[in-house]
Structure 1
Amino acid sequence: MKVDRHGQAKVLSPDEAQQLFNAFTTNRDRALFGICLFTGCRINEACTLLTNDVYDTAGVRTKITIRKQHTKGKQETRQITTHPSLKTYLEAYQEQAGKRYLFPGRHRRGHLNPRSADAILRQVCDRLHLEGISTHSFRRTALTQMSSAGIPLRVIQEISGHRSLQALQKYLEVSEQQVEQAIAVVGF
Protein backbone atom coordinates (compact mmCIF):
# COMPACT_ATOMS: atom_id res chain seq x y z
CA MET A 1 0.00 0.00 0.00
CA LYS A 2 1.14 3.53 -0.70
CA VAL A 3 2.48 5.54 2.21
CA ASP A 4 3.44 9.18 1.62
CA ARG A 5 3.14 8.57 -2.13
CA HIS A 6 5.60 5.63 -2.05
CA GLY A 7 4.79 1.99 -2.70
CA GLN A 8 2.04 0.31 -4.67
CA ALA A 9 -1.36 1.93 -5.00
CA LYS A 10 -4.08 0.35 -2.90
CA VAL A 11 -6.69 -1.84 -4.57
CA LEU A 12 -10.06 -0.29 -3.75
CA SER A 13 -12.72 -2.25 -1.92
CA PRO A 14 -16.23 -1.93 -3.39
CA ASP A 15 -17.17 0.26 -0.41
CA GLU A 16 -14.19 2.60 -0.96
CA ALA A 17 -14.96 2.91 -4.67
CA GLN A 18 -18.59 3.74 -3.87
CA GLN A 19 -17.53 6.32 -1.28
CA LEU A 20 -15.20 8.00 -3.78
CA PHE A 21 -17.73 8.18 -6.61
CA ASN A 22 -20.36 9.54 -4.22
CA ALA A 23 -17.87 12.16 -2.97
CA PHE A 24 -16.74 13.43 -6.38
CA THR A 25 -18.43 16.80 -6.78
CA THR A 26 -18.47 17.11 -10.57
CA ASN A 27 -19.54 15.03 -13.55
CA ARG A 28 -16.01 15.55 -14.89
CA ASP A 29 -14.43 13.86 -11.87
CA ARG A 30 -16.83 10.91 -12.01
CA ALA A 31 -16.21 10.53 -15.76
CA LEU A 32 -12.42 10.86 -15.38
CA PHE A 33 -12.01 8.35 -12.60
CA GLY A 34 -14.78 6.17 -14.06
CA ILE A 35 -12.68 5.83 -17.21
CA CYS A 36 -9.69 4.79 -15.10
CA LEU A 37 -11.74 2.22 -13.20
CA PHE A 38 -13.90 0.77 -15.97
CA THR A 39 -11.17 0.61 -18.63
CA GLY A 40 -8.17 -0.09 -16.39
CA CYS A 41 -6.26 2.73 -18.07
CA ARG A 42 -3.57 4.95 -16.58
CA ILE A 43 -4.43 8.48 -15.46
CA ASN A 44 -2.36 9.98 -18.28
CA GLU A 45 -4.27 7.89 -20.81
CA ALA A 46 -7.57 9.16 -19.40
CA CYS A 47 -6.45 12.81 -19.25
CA THR A 48 -5.25 12.77 -22.86
CA LEU A 49 -8.34 11.10 -24.36
CA LEU A 50 -9.74 12.88 -27.37
CA THR A 51 -13.44 13.67 -27.27
CA ASN A 52 -13.97 11.84 -30.59
CA ASP A 53 -12.50 8.68 -29.05
CA VAL A 54 -15.35 8.60 -26.52
CA TYR A 55 -18.33 10.28 -28.22
CA ASP A 56 -19.79 10.19 -31.71
CA THR A 57 -22.83 12.00 -33.10
CA ALA A 58 -25.12 9.43 -31.45
CA GLY A 59 -23.57 9.86 -27.98
CA VAL A 60 -21.18 7.61 -26.06
CA ARG A 61 -19.32 5.16 -28.28
CA THR A 62 -19.62 1.43 -27.61
CA LYS A 63 -15.80 1.27 -27.42
CA ILE A 64 -13.36 3.83 -26.05
CA THR A 65 -10.18 4.26 -28.07
CA ILE A 66 -6.89 4.83 -26.27
CA ARG A 67 -4.43 5.98 -28.91
CA LYS A 68 -0.91 4.58 -28.87
CA GLN A 69 0.70 8.03 -28.67
CA HIS A 70 -1.03 8.51 -25.29
CA THR A 71 0.02 5.16 -23.81
CA LYS A 72 3.05 4.61 -21.61
CA GLY A 73 5.04 2.56 -24.09
CA LYS A 74 3.46 4.07 -27.20
CA GLN A 75 3.15 0.48 -28.46
CA GLU A 76 -0.35 0.20 -29.86
CA THR A 77 -3.80 1.69 -29.86
CA ARG A 78 -6.36 -0.27 -27.89
CA GLN A 79 -10.14 -0.20 -27.75
CA ILE A 80 -12.10 -1.07 -24.64
CA THR A 81 -15.81 -1.77 -24.48
CA THR A 82 -17.74 0.92 -22.62
CA HIS A 83 -19.13 -0.48 -19.35
CA PRO A 84 -22.80 0.50 -18.67
CA SER A 85 -21.86 2.36 -15.46
CA LEU A 86 -19.16 4.28 -17.31
CA LYS A 87 -21.63 5.12 -20.06
CA THR A 88 -23.87 6.75 -17.42
CA TYR A 89 -20.97 8.89 -16.14
CA LEU A 90 -19.98 9.86 -19.68
CA GLU A 91 -23.55 10.78 -20.64
CA ALA A 92 -23.78 13.08 -17.62
CA TYR A 93 -20.48 14.72 -18.58
CA GLN A 94 -21.01 15.02 -22.35
CA GLU A 95 -22.17 18.67 -22.32
CA GLN A 96 -19.00 19.77 -20.47
CA ALA A 97 -16.55 17.77 -22.62
CA GLY A 98 -13.93 19.70 -24.54
CA LYS A 99 -13.95 20.07 -28.31
CA ARG A 100 -10.60 18.35 -28.82
CA TYR A 101 -9.66 16.79 -25.49
CA LEU A 102 -12.30 15.07 -23.40
CA PHE A 103 -10.93 16.70 -20.25
CA PRO A 104 -9.69 20.17 -21.22
CA GLY A 105 -7.00 21.91 -19.20
CA ARG A 106 -7.02 25.40 -17.76
CA HIS A 107 -8.71 27.98 -19.93
CA ARG A 108 -9.82 25.01 -22.08
CA ARG A 109 -6.30 24.75 -23.55
CA GLY A 110 -4.69 21.35 -23.96
CA HIS A 111 -5.77 18.54 -21.67
CA LEU A 112 -6.16 18.18 -17.91
CA ASN A 113 -2.78 17.61 -16.32
CA PRO A 114 -2.48 14.22 -14.57
CA ARG A 115 -1.03 16.03 -11.53
CA SER A 116 -4.23 18.06 -11.32
CA ALA A 117 -6.23 14.83 -11.39
CA ASP A 118 -4.03 13.49 -8.59
CA ALA A 119 -4.69 16.63 -6.52
CA ILE A 120 -8.46 16.24 -7.04
CA LEU A 121 -8.32 12.63 -5.84
CA ARG A 122 -6.12 13.44 -2.84
CA GLN A 123 -8.56 16.14 -1.68
CA VAL A 124 -11.46 13.70 -1.81
CA CYS A 125 -9.44 10.96 -0.06
CA ASP A 126 -8.41 13.41 2.68
CA ARG A 127 -12.03 14.43 3.17
CA LEU A 128 -13.08 10.76 3.43
CA HIS A 129 -10.03 9.78 5.54
CA LEU A 130 -8.99 7.13 3.00
CA GLU A 131 -5.31 6.22 2.88
CA GLY A 132 -3.04 4.52 0.35
CA ILE A 133 -5.20 5.49 -2.62
CA SER A 134 -3.75 7.12 -5.72
CA THR A 135 -4.87 7.59 -9.30
CA HIS A 136 -3.26 4.21 -10.04
CA SER A 137 -5.62 2.53 -7.55
CA PHE A 138 -8.38 2.55 -10.16
CA ARG A 139 -6.18 0.67 -12.66
CA ARG A 140 -5.01 -1.87 -10.06
CA THR A 141 -8.60 -2.34 -8.87
CA ALA A 142 -9.92 -2.99 -12.38
CA LEU A 143 -7.18 -5.48 -13.24
CA THR A 144 -7.39 -7.26 -9.88
CA GLN A 145 -11.19 -7.57 -10.13
CA MET A 146 -10.88 -9.05 -13.62
CA SER A 147 -8.30 -11.56 -12.40
CA SER A 148 -10.40 -12.46 -9.35
CA ALA A 149 -13.38 -13.07 -11.65
CA GLY A 150 -11.35 -15.66 -13.55
CA ILE A 151 -10.72 -13.60 -16.68
CA PRO A 152 -7.67 -15.09 -18.43
CA LEU A 153 -4.50 -13.06 -17.94
CA ARG A 154 -3.99 -12.77 -21.70
CA VAL A 155 -7.39 -11.02 -22.01
CA ILE A 156 -6.55 -8.68 -19.11
CA GLN A 157 -3.22 -7.93 -20.78
CA GLU A 158 -5.04 -6.96 -23.97
CA ILE A 159 -7.23 -4.53 -22.01
CA SER A 160 -4.44 -3.08 -19.87
CA GLY A 161 -1.85 -2.71 -22.60
CA HIS A 162 0.92 -4.38 -20.57
CA ARG A 163 3.77 -5.61 -22.76
CA SER A 164 4.17 -8.86 -20.86
CA LEU A 165 2.22 -11.11 -18.53
CA GLN A 166 5.05 -10.73 -16.01
CA ALA A 167 4.53 -6.94 -15.91
CA LEU A 168 0.77 -7.42 -15.56
CA GLN A 169 1.08 -9.88 -12.67
CA LYS A 170 2.84 -7.24 -10.54
CA TYR A 171 -0.41 -5.26 -10.59
CA LEU A 172 -2.64 -8.03 -9.38
CA GLU A 173 -3.37 -8.39 -5.70
CA VAL A 174 -4.13 -11.79 -4.22
CA SER A 175 -6.60 -11.71 -1.35
CA GLU A 176 -6.53 -13.93 1.72
CA GLN A 177 -9.91 -15.32 0.62
CA GLN A 178 -8.46 -16.38 -2.74
CA VAL A 179 -5.59 -18.18 -0.99
CA GLU A 180 -8.06 -19.96 1.30
CA GLN A 181 -10.24 -20.96 -1.67
CA ALA A 182 -7.20 -22.28 -3.54
CA ILE A 183 -6.14 -24.43 -0.58
CA ALA A 184 -9.70 -25.69 -0.11
CA VAL A 185 -9.75 -27.35 -3.53
CA VAL A 186 -6.76 -29.56 -2.71
CA GLY A 187 -7.60 -33.04 -1.56
CA PHE A 188 -8.52 -36.59 -2.50
Structure 2
Amino acid sequence: MKIDRHGKAKILSVEEVQLLFNSGLQTERDRALFGIYLFCACRIQEACTLRTVDVYDASGRVRPKLIIRKGNTKGKLATRTIPVIDDLRILLTNYQPATGQPYLSPGRFGEPFQPDSADKALRKACKRVGLEGVSSHSFRRSALTQMSDALIPLRIVQEVRSYAVELKMR
Protein backbone atom coordinates (compact mmCIF):
# COMPACT_ATOMS: atom_id res chain seq x y z
CA MET A 1 0.00 0.00 0.00
CA LYS A 2 1.16 3.51 -0.72
CA ILE A 3 2.26 5.65 2.20
CA ASP A 4 3.10 9.30 1.51
CA ARG A 5 2.99 8.52 -2.22
CA HIS A 6 5.56 5.71 -1.94
CA GLY A 7 4.98 2.00 -2.44
CA LYS A 8 2.48 0.00 -4.47
CA ALA A 9 -0.92 1.41 -5.29
CA LYS A 10 -3.77 -0.16 -3.36
CA ILE A 11 -6.06 -2.60 -5.16
CA LEU A 12 -9.58 -1.31 -4.64
CA SER A 13 -12.49 -3.50 -3.56
CA VAL A 14 -15.87 -3.14 -5.26
CA GLU A 15 -17.15 -1.37 -2.14
CA GLU A 16 -14.26 1.12 -2.18
CA VAL A 17 -14.84 1.87 -5.87
CA GLN A 18 -18.54 2.48 -5.18
CA LEU A 19 -17.68 4.71 -2.23
CA LEU A 20 -15.31 6.79 -4.36
CA PHE A 21 -17.76 7.16 -7.26
CA ASN A 22 -20.82 7.81 -5.07
CA SER A 23 -19.33 10.08 -2.39
CA GLY A 24 -15.68 10.91 -3.05
CA LEU A 25 -15.52 12.17 -6.62
CA GLN A 26 -17.52 15.40 -6.76
CA THR A 27 -17.75 16.26 -10.46
CA GLU A 28 -19.03 14.43 -13.53
CA ARG A 29 -15.66 15.11 -15.16
CA ASP A 30 -13.80 13.36 -12.35
CA ARG A 31 -16.20 10.40 -12.35
CA ALA A 32 -15.80 10.06 -16.14
CA LEU A 33 -12.01 10.36 -15.98
CA PHE A 34 -11.59 7.83 -13.17
CA GLY A 35 -14.18 5.59 -14.81
CA ILE A 36 -11.90 5.48 -17.84
CA TYR A 37 -8.97 4.50 -15.60
CA LEU A 38 -11.03 1.73 -14.05
CA PHE A 39 -12.92 0.31 -17.02
CA CYS A 40 -10.09 0.65 -19.56
CA ALA A 41 -7.19 -0.23 -17.22
CA CYS A 42 -5.27 2.65 -18.71
CA ARG A 43 -2.55 4.83 -17.28
CA ILE A 44 -3.15 8.34 -16.01
CA GLN A 45 -1.36 10.01 -18.94
CA GLU A 46 -3.43 8.02 -21.44
CA ALA A 47 -6.73 9.05 -19.86
CA CYS A 48 -5.77 12.70 -19.37
CA THR A 49 -4.76 13.12 -23.02
CA LEU A 50 -7.89 11.55 -24.52
CA ARG A 51 -9.39 13.72 -27.20
CA THR A 52 -13.12 14.40 -27.24
CA VAL A 53 -13.41 12.98 -30.79
CA ASP A 54 -11.89 9.71 -29.55
CA VAL A 55 -14.77 9.28 -27.10
CA TYR A 56 -17.79 11.08 -28.62
CA ASP A 57 -19.07 11.16 -32.20
CA ALA A 58 -20.04 14.37 -34.04
CA SER A 59 -23.55 14.31 -32.53
CA GLY A 60 -22.17 14.07 -28.98
CA ARG A 61 -23.02 10.40 -28.40
CA VAL A 62 -20.50 8.12 -26.76
CA ARG A 63 -18.72 5.98 -29.34
CA PRO A 64 -18.96 2.18 -29.00
CA LYS A 65 -15.16 2.05 -28.73
CA LEU A 66 -12.83 4.51 -27.07
CA ILE A 67 -9.57 5.27 -28.93
CA ILE A 68 -6.24 5.72 -27.16
CA ARG A 69 -3.75 7.07 -29.68
CA LYS A 70 -0.34 5.44 -29.77
CA GLY A 71 1.42 8.77 -29.21
CA ASN A 72 -0.20 8.95 -25.77
CA THR A 73 0.70 5.42 -24.65
CA LYS A 74 3.69 4.54 -22.51
CA GLY A 75 5.58 2.69 -25.21
CA LYS A 76 4.02 4.55 -28.13
CA LEU A 77 3.70 1.16 -29.85
CA ALA A 78 0.08 0.94 -30.99
CA THR A 79 -3.20 2.77 -31.05
CA ARG A 80 -5.76 0.87 -29.00
CA THR A 81 -9.51 0.68 -29.28
CA ILE A 82 -11.32 -0.31 -26.12
CA PRO A 83 -15.01 -1.24 -26.03
CA VAL A 84 -17.10 1.09 -23.88
CA ILE A 85 -19.06 -1.04 -21.42
CA ASP A 86 -22.43 0.11 -20.08
CA ASP A 87 -21.10 1.39 -16.73
CA LEU A 88 -18.53 3.56 -18.48
CA ARG A 89 -21.08 4.69 -21.09
CA ILE A 90 -23.29 6.03 -18.28
CA LEU A 91 -20.39 8.01 -16.77
CA LEU A 92 -19.41 9.43 -20.17
CA THR A 93 -23.01 10.27 -21.05
CA ASN A 94 -23.46 12.15 -17.77
CA TYR A 95 -20.32 14.15 -18.55
CA GLN A 96 -20.20 16.23 -21.70
CA PRO A 97 -17.17 18.47 -22.21
CA ALA A 98 -17.79 21.98 -23.48
CA THR A 99 -18.54 22.25 -27.19
CA GLY A 100 -15.40 22.63 -29.25
CA GLN A 101 -13.17 21.40 -26.42
CA PRO A 102 -10.39 19.28 -27.98
CA TYR A 103 -9.67 17.25 -24.83
CA LEU A 104 -12.08 15.06 -22.92
CA SER A 105 -10.73 16.43 -19.64
CA PRO A 106 -9.70 20.01 -20.34
CA GLY A 107 -7.18 21.77 -18.20
CA ARG A 108 -6.04 25.35 -18.32
CA PHE A 109 -5.15 27.22 -21.48
CA GLY A 110 -6.54 24.59 -23.88
CA GLU A 111 -4.23 21.87 -22.66
CA PRO A 112 -5.36 18.48 -21.36
CA PHE A 113 -5.99 18.01 -17.64
CA GLN A 114 -2.56 17.32 -16.15
CA PRO A 115 -1.83 14.00 -14.41
CA ASP A 116 -0.73 15.87 -11.27
CA SER A 117 -4.08 17.68 -11.16
CA ALA A 118 -5.97 14.39 -11.61
CA ASP A 119 -3.90 12.84 -8.84
CA LYS A 120 -4.67 15.79 -6.57
CA ALA A 121 -8.42 15.44 -7.27
CA LEU A 122 -8.20 11.75 -6.37
CA ARG A 123 -6.33 12.45 -3.12
CA LYS A 124 -9.09 14.91 -2.12
CA ALA A 125 -11.78 12.34 -2.98
CA CYS A 126 -10.01 9.66 -0.95
CA LYS A 127 -9.63 11.99 2.01
CA ARG A 128 -13.35 12.82 1.77
CA VAL A 129 -14.31 9.13 2.16
CA GLY A 130 -11.42 8.01 4.38
CA LEU A 131 -9.46 5.79 1.98
CA GLU A 132 -5.69 5.46 2.31
CA GLY A 133 -3.05 4.06 -0.02
CA VAL A 134 -5.03 4.88 -3.18
CA SER A 135 -3.44 6.44 -6.25
CA SER A 136 -4.51 6.81 -9.86
CA HIS A 137 -2.64 3.57 -10.57
CA SER A 138 -4.98 1.79 -8.11
CA PHE A 139 -7.67 1.81 -10.79
CA ARG A 140 -5.38 0.09 -13.31
CA ARG A 141 -4.22 -2.49 -10.73
CA SER A 142 -7.80 -3.10 -9.62
CA ALA A 143 -9.03 -3.63 -13.19
CA LEU A 144 -6.24 -6.08 -13.99
CA THR A 145 -6.80 -7.95 -10.72
CA GLN A 146 -10.53 -8.22 -11.40
CA MET A 147 -9.76 -9.59 -14.88
CA SER A 148 -7.47 -12.20 -13.39
CA ASP A 149 -10.02 -13.08 -10.68
CA ALA A 150 -12.69 -13.48 -13.39
CA LEU A 151 -10.44 -16.14 -14.97
CA ILE A 152 -9.76 -14.09 -18.09
CA PRO A 153 -6.83 -15.85 -19.78
CA LEU A 154 -3.44 -14.63 -18.62
CA ARG A 155 -2.44 -13.88 -22.22
CA ILE A 156 -5.27 -11.31 -22.47
CA VAL A 157 -4.43 -9.76 -19.09
CA GLN A 158 -0.79 -9.47 -20.18
CA GLU A 159 -1.84 -7.77 -23.41
CA VAL A 160 -3.85 -5.24 -21.45
CA ARG A 161 -1.01 -4.76 -19.00
CA SER A 162 1.72 -4.27 -21.57
CA TYR A 163 -0.39 -2.54 -24.23
CA ALA A 164 2.05 -3.87 -26.77
CA VAL A 165 -0.83 -5.01 -28.96
CA GLU A 166 -4.34 -3.73 -29.53
CA LEU A 167 -6.81 -5.40 -27.21
CA LYS A 168 -10.15 -6.43 -28.60
CA MET A 169 -12.37 -7.52 -25.75
CA ARG A 170 -15.43 -9.60 -26.61
CA contact (8 A) 1:27 1:92 kept: yes
Superposition RMSD in Å: 1.6
Deviation at 1:128, TM superposition (A): 1.3
Query: Runs of 4+ in structure 1 displaced over 6 angstroms?
Result: none
Residue 125 of structure 1 is matched in structure 2 by 126
Gaps of 5+ in 1: 165-188
Alignment of 1:71-110 (within 5 A): 71-96=73-98, 99-107=101-109, 109-110=110-111
Gaps of 5+ in 2: 166-170
Could you say what secondary structure the match of 2:95 adopts?
Answer: helix
Bigger Rg over Cα: 1
Residue 7 of structure 2 is matched in structure 1 by 7
Residue 40 of structure 1 is matched in structure 2 by 41
Q: C-alpha deviations, 1:72-111, integer Å up to 9, x for none? A: 111111111101000000001125476211111114x110
Q: C-alpha deviations, 1:133-172, integer Å up to 9, x for none? A: 00000000001000100001221233344449xxxxxxxx
Residue 66 of structure 1 is matched in structure 2 by 68
Residue 113 of structure 2 is matched in structure 1 by 112
Higher mean C-alpha deviation, range 94-103 or range 130-139 = 94-103
Higher relative contact order (CA 8 A, sep 6+): 2
Q: Structure 2 length as normaliser, TM-score? A: 0.90
Q: Structure 1 length as normaliser, TM-score? A: 0.82
Q: Number of aligned residue pairs: give it.
A: 163
Equivalent AA in structure 1 for residue 67 of structure 2: T
